A and B are shown apart, each in its own frame.
Chain A
Amino acid sequence: MCAAMSAIHLSQLSKTYSVPQREAGLKASLRSLVRRKSRDVKAVDRISFTVAPGEVVGFLGPNGAGKTTALKMLSGLLYPTSGEVSVLGHVPSRREKDFLRQITLVMGNRNQLAWDIPALDSFELNRSIYRIPEADFRRTLDEFVEILELKDLVQKPVRNLSLGERMKMELAGALLHRPSALFLDEPTIGLDVTMQRRLRAFVAEYNRRTGATVLLTSHYMADVVALCRRVIVIHHGRILYDGDLAGLAAQFSADKTIGVTLDDPDVDLQPYGEVLGKDAGKVMLRVPKTDVSRVATRLLADLPVLDLTIEDPPIEDVIEHVFAQGAPQEQPA
């Protein structure tokens, strides 16, 4: 897709931080008075990708991989060290007001609402800052209050809300101006399963109703599975994978999982593969991908099999495997 047709376009985008360095101890401390040392850390290293308008993309990576730095460059908070970036036709680092009115960045670990007063007052302030017409503001707010079930919460001081309630408010406040590009950085962090599911449903509904483009980071794979068909995996500042969620397992997992239900549950299946566990008579075996058809054939031939399934390993295992790998290979330009 060409840059002009995309909602988000990055080309060879890099961000390098200069980090002060000093060894421990008094001697090193005195030495640093006259000679300060620093080293360059590449947080994001020549990443390139394009996101189409309306697409919801999962941006995955372990802590420190460069996800948040990339999101901050996309939202205009950070100046890139090199490379090009365009969001909704704007260069984010120019921080044009028209650009800022069309985006939002929600960080799960940070509050943007005033702590001591009801969220409704902060929403009113957002209305004036984003210059939202009164009628549009009321309509959007009513819509969010209904979808997120905020009716009894909007008039409570924010400090009296639970973490989940606060996060719902944060999300509502961040979307009142109906942004066309959403950067969500771990929006469900620390929330219980029910609240995670509700926020996910809200993001999906917002995307459906407005056609907004969403770039989402999360350590909860359930978020990614529920919202994103496409994922981009970043590690050590470089892109490891960009494609379908399903394709991630195909590319990175060396194993498959065979589920076998036998007539006799006491049969030892160790010779066929690594036994991962048993659940209601079904034994899960991890088998190298290259051996799957041979092992499946042997199982069917040797044993009284009632049922046999061949699956990709759980996405969490695949991601863990990807993250556990070393530095990525050179990314093709």
Chain B
Amino acid sequence: MKPMIDMYLGTVKISILQQFQYRVANYFYMIGMVAEPVIYLVVWSTVANAQGGSVGGYTAQGFAAYYIVWTLVRNMNIVLTPYAWESRIRRGQLSAELLRPTHPVHLDIGYFAGWKFVVIVMWLPIAAVLTLAFRPMISPTPVEIAGFAVAIWGGFFVRFFLQWALGLLSFWITRVSAIFELYFTIELLFSGRLVPLSLMPEWAQQIAALLPFKWAFQFPIETLIGRLSTEEILFGLGMQALWTAIGIAIVSIVWRTALRRYSAVGN
């Protein structure tokens, strides 16, 4: 166990060092990412005000809370994109990783987890500016804060393993972008990223509850902004554990077959 922790700490350290090398680029990337929720926030706040102060149970301040927490969850949700696998294979990076006496998934987890520490530090001033500008209504209880602290990492792991598994398609199909696009469109609709799911039709909410995306995205947000009971928080964490386990199982099963197909031509 100790060598494993040592390896994770080593990877996290490397990631933090690398991300601080790119601190300006990271900052501009994060600022650019804020544009998306601010547009949603302005649109839905206007709709809420026009409809007598609230829509789908959200007031303008409620939307502000949702979309400000959104910015942190979105950044915490960044994982190895399945698109990266194509170049990872073509440029020989995977060969270098396969030579190491550890599963590459550990190094990826460590790398992206390390990145999150940089993200959190950089997010704080952005959140402060958004709070001053939009006056969110948020007063979480200790249970909600604790639940959120676990849920944002839970969301990271759900998304990490499912996208890692999706990326393994690259071993079978050379151009898998179309499949990834379809996946991301479904994720966008059913995660709560575009709009809180309570604003969507009932049938859409039922589908969303059966898919993993909501548990990686909307669930952590709702945990912090006080829209869930303690039972609902515990249930959500259980769903995150279930989807993480499903992701790990897919990765474990597919990985060995994928490696047999690996041709490593030219690299």
Question: Which chain A residues have a beta carbon within 8 Å of chain B's beta carbons?
Answer: 17, 72, 75-79, 95, 97-98, 100-101, 103-105, 107, 110, 112, 114, 116-117, 121-122, 124-125, 127-131, 157
Contacts and interface: CB of A to CB of B under 8 A. Distances in A.
A72 B102 CA distance: 18
- Nearest 8 interchain pairs by C-beta: A128-B10, A100-B101, A97-B101, A128-B6, A128-B7, A112-B96, A116-B21, A125-B10
B4 to A, nearest CB: 9
Contacts of A110: 92, 95-96, 267
B154 to A, nearest CB: 26
Contact of A78 (B14, B18, B101, B262): B262
A129 B102 contact: yes
Contacts of B260: 79
13 contacts: A76-B98, A78-B264, A79-B259, A105-B95, A116-B22, A121-B17, A125-B10, A125-B14, A127-B10, A128-B10, A128-B11, A131-B3, A131-B6
B9 interface: yes
A76 B11 CA distance: 23
B13 interface: yes
A72 B95 contact: yes
Nearest to A104: B99
Interface residues of B, number: 28
A130 B102 CA distance: 8
B199 to A, nearest CB: 42
Contact of A100 (B100, B107, B263, B267): B100
Contact of A116 (B18, B96, B100, B264): B18
B11 to A, nearest CB: 7
A107 B92 contact: yes
Given A17-B263, A116-B21, A131-B3, A77 B14 contact: no
Q: Which of A101, A129, A130 has the largest number of chain B CB atoms within 10 A?
A: A129
**Do most interface residues of chain A lie in helix, strand or loop, or is the interface mixed?**
mixed
A69 to B, nearest CB: 8
Given A17-B263, A116-B21, A117-B18, A124 B10 contact: yes
Given A97-B101, A110-B95, 17 more contacts: A17-B263, A17-B265, A77-B95, A77-B262, A95-B98, A100-B99, A101-B101, A116-B21, A116-B22, A122-B14, A124-B10, A125-B11, A128-B3, A128-B7, A128-B11, A129-B7, A131-B3
Interface of B: 3, 6-7, 9-11, 13-14, 17-18, 21-22, 92, 95-96, 98-102, 107, 259-260, 262-265, 267
A97 B21 CA distance: 32
Contacts of A128: 3, 6-7, 9-11
Contacts of B3: 128, 131
B99 A78 contact: no
A129 B262 contact: no
A78 B263 contact: yes
B175 to A, nearest CB: 12
A17 B264 CA distance: 11
A149 to B, nearest CB: 25
Contacts of B259: 79, 95
A42 to B, nearest CB: 14
B18 A77 contact: no
B29 to A, nearest CB: 16
A97 B18 contact: no
Contacts of A105: 95, 99
Contact of B98 (A77, A97, A114, A131): A77
Contact of B18 (A17, A98, A100, A114): A114
A77 B139 CA distance: 53
Contact of A129 (B22, B100, B263): B100
A279 B74 CA distance: 73
Contacts of B21: 116-117, 157
A117 B99 contact: no
Given A77-B99, A97-B102, A112-B96, A129 B14 contact: no
Contacts of A17: 263, 265
Nearest to B260: A79
A68 to B, nearest CB: 8
A41 to B, nearest CB: 10
Contacts of A124: 10, 13
Contacts of A77: 95, 98-99, 262, 264
Contacts of B22: 116
Nearest to A43: B265
Contacts of B11: 125, 128
Contacts of B98: 76-77, 95
